[in-house]
Amino acid sequence: MKVNGTIILLAENTTLLNFLKAQSFDINTIAVERNGEIIPRSAYKNVILYDEDTLEIVRFVGGG
């Protein structure tokens, strides 16, 4: 699977939510696009990731 331009190996098919948790993302401060489509936060637990997927994960830090 490609994540932010880097190819990573998926050990097994997992949900997006579990993947994000394993990578220590705070799901309240990110936005995720899979294969060009924004994924609503409520769908993270239902989306299954596959090797051929491309993810873009944007993490927001505070300040403005």
Partner 1 sequence: MIIEINGKKMDLTYQTAFEAREQIGNETDIVILNGFQIENDCKLSANDTLTIIRKGTMPKKAELESMMMARHTPTVHKRIKKGKVAIAGLGGLGSNIAVMLARIGVGELLLVDFDIVEPSNLNRQNYYISHLGMPKTVALNKQLKEINPFIKIETQNKKVTEANILELFNGYDIICEAFDQPEAKSMLVNLALNQLPNIKIVSASGMAGYESSNLIKTMKPMKRLYVCGDMENGAEIGKGLMAPRVQICAGHQANLVLRLLLGIEDI
Enumerate binding residues for partner 1 (CB under 8 A).
Answer: 4, 28-31, 33, 36, 38, 40-41, 56, 58-64
Q: Residue 20: left (phi > 0), alpha (psi -120 to 50), or beta?
A: alpha
CB distance 18 to 10 below 8 Å: no
The structure tokens listed for 59 are 């993490």
Decide if 31 contacts 49 (C-beta within 8 A): no
By C-beta, is 33 or 51 nearer to partner 1?
Answer: 33
Choose between 6 and 28: whose C-beta lies nearer to partner 1.
28
Q: How far is the CB of 11 from partner 1 (least distance, A)?
A: 25
The nearer residue to partner 1, 36 or 52, going by C-beta atoms, is 36
Residue ranges in 1-64 assigned as alpha helix (H): 16-22
CB of 12 to partner 1, least distance (A): 27
